[in-house]
Structure formats: C-alpha cells, structure tokens
Structure 1
Amino acid sequence: MARRLRPVGPDFVGTAPLRLVFAREVAAPPGAVFSALAEDVSGWSEWFSAVTLARPTADGGGREVRLRGGTRFEETVLVSKAPEVYAYRADATNAPGLRALVEEWRLTPADGGTRVRWTFAADGTVVFRTALTLGRSGLGRAFRDAVTALDRRLASASA
C-alpha cells in the first residue's frame, strides 16, 4: 500500500524543487474558508471533485485523503492558524515517484471576500516532476473548480 515519504516541515513550501502556486478570489470571508479547509475535513469531497474521501485522524492532527483514480495519502497537519494558513504534509502515499509533499492554503482578505492561494510543493523523481509540470494546467483547473464550488457551498450555507 503506502510508502513513507521524506518528512519535511512548513518551510518546504519555499524550498521544494517543484512548486506550483494557484490563486483565486472568492466572496466568502477568510474565517468561513478556513473553517471549511481545517475544521470540516470530511466536507472536502463535497466541493473538491478529485477528493473521494477526506477524514481527520490523530484527533485532528492528521488527515486521510483518497483521490479519484485510487491515490491515497496519510497526512500530518503542519500549520493551522485561523484564519490565515492551513498546511499539511503527506507522510505516506501510493503515488509513484513522490518523495515529499506539502500543501499550503494561505487566505488573505480581498474586496469583501478572500484571496485563496494554494501552493503544491513537491519533490520526486524526474518522471514525477516532469509529469506534474506537464499537468500544471489540469491541477490549476481542479483548484479553480474546487474553490468556486467551495464558495458556492459556503454561500448556500449562510443563506
């Protein structure tokens, strides 16, 4: 099943060999977005179409995530600073070629809503890094669609 990955810290977001950064503004306030990211982990499958299962582990200090296609991750939450930053590290996965991964969600107030910036910081084999670089536009589209769906979900919940 899963292989252990290299344990890295939150600073890996700035030093990873491969960093993909995506941003989008939403109408929801930072606190609501942060709550959906960090506190409603099981709700991820409702707005992030690539996620088939997300559940908190280790009393909220970790996460188990499954993606469409069968990729699985066991993760550790590295930073949970409301309402600004939520970051986690992949500790184990069945994704081939991946050696280290940290994802950071940074939230800043913007025109009555929130600017959501997602950094996907990774290290892996040359084949992995090449595939991820070539797949950048698809990952960006998945991010945009997910954040748009999250914004709609938060708007309907507050209505």
Structure 2
Amino acid sequence: MVRRLRAEGLDFVGAAPVRLVFTRELAAPPERVFHALASDVSGWADWFPAVASAEPLDEGAGRDVRLRGGTRFRETVLAAKEPEVYAYRVDVTNAPGLRALVEEWRLTPGGAGTRVRWTFAADGPALVRGVLRLASPGLGRSFRDAMTRLERRLATGA
C-alpha cells in the first residue's frame, strides 16, 4: 500500500514529535562526505547497509530509495547546501503508520575531517512514535555501520 505523507519543511527537523539524532566523526573532508550524500545517490547502496537501491529523480530534486526488506521511499530534497547540509522529506512510502518523515545530514569541519550528524525526524500515531523510539538503538547501529563503510569508501577514493 502506497501512502502519501504530510509535506514538511526543514523546520520539522527541530519540531518533530520523534527526533533521533546520531553523530560520527569521519576522516574525510566535508566536501567529500557531502558529495557521497548528495551527488552520488546511487552509491548509497554501496555504503549504507539498509539501502538496497537509491536513484536520483528530477535532476537531483528527488530520490527513489528502496530499503532491504521492501520498504520504499519517494523523497523530495529540501536542502543541498554544500558542504554543510543535505536534507530530504519522504513524500510517498509503503511503510505503515508514518505521517511525516524528514532526514537531515549536517556536516561540520572538525580537525582533519568531518563531524556527521544525522537527524531522523518523524511523526505518526502514538504507537508508531513509540516503535520509532524503541528502534533508536538499531538505527544508531545502522548509522555507525554506514559511516564506517562510507569512511572506508572515501579513503579508497571511491
């Protein structure tokens, strides 16, 4: 079943009923990390274990993402300000219960590398909000694994 979600803007990242925030330091400079996030959309499947495929849409204004297990997202890019922020909202999904979902990747120079902060901002009925909060440790592991793989990929020049 395909469901259309509420169209939220960037302000939702700070106001969402569920905000899960994860951070990690990478050795790569912000420009390289930003490129992996915003320009090499199809490359997400190579470094983010949960992503089965990701394709840019509308000349980079959107994305079509499929997760392992069958969840799909049709997204609109809300911000692509190199090298600081990349954010998108989910417009259509087959995930049950969600009402709104915005993800923001904020990149900050740090030492010789980049501090990556991923914010997962969502809304849904109370049960969905509770499940998302319970899923936080798993999302955190997925994020850490993805950042480890991305760092390796960037170190090899991919």
- TM-score, normalised on structure 1? 0.98
Residue 25 of structure 2 aligns to a residue in which SS? strand
Amino acid of the residue matched to residue 85 of structure 2? V
Q: Note the C-alpha offset of 1:98.
A: 0.4
The answer to whether structure 1 residue 68 and structure 2 residue 73 are counterparts is no
User: d(CA) in 2 for partners of 1:88 and 1:98?
Assistant: 15
Counting only pairs closer than 5 Å after superposition, residues 39-118 of structure 1 correspond to structure 2 as 39-118=39-118
User: d(CA) in 1 for partners of 2:4 and 2:119?
Assistant: 21
Q: Paired residue for 1:151?
A: 151
Gaps of 5+ in 1: none
Cα offsets for 1:51-101 (capped at 9, x unmatched): 001000011100000001100000000000000000000000000010000
- Runs of 4+ aligned residues of structure 1 deviating over 6 Å after TM superposition are none
Residue 83 of structure 2 aligns to a residue in which SS? coil
Amino acid of the residue matched to residue 109 of structure 1? P
Q: Note the C-alpha offset of 1:155.
A: 0.2
User: d(CA) in 2 for partners of 1:157 and 1:111?
Assistant: 20
| Cα RMSD for the two superposed structures | 0.8
Q: Paired residue for 2:16?
A: 16
Cα offsets for 1:5-39 (capped at 9, x unmatched): 00000110000010000000010000000000000
User: d(CA) in 2 for partners of 1:62 and 1:2?
Assistant: 17
Gaps of 5+ in 2: none
User: d(CA) in 1 for partners of 2:127 and 2:73?
Assistant: 20
Residue 75 of structure 1 aligns to a residue in which SS? strand
Q: In the comparison of the two structures, how many residue pairs are matched?
A: 158
Which deviates more from structure 2 when the two are superposed, residues 99-108 or residues 122-131?
A: 122-131
Cα offsets for 1:91-126 (capped at 9, x unmatched): 000000100000000000011000000000000111
Aligned identity (percent) is 69
Amino acid of the residue matched to residue 129 of structure 1? R
Which deviates more from structure 2 when the two are superposed, residues 18-27 or residues 122-131?
A: 122-131
Residue 55 of structure 2 aligns to a residue in which SS? strand
- TM-score, normalised on structure 2? 0.98
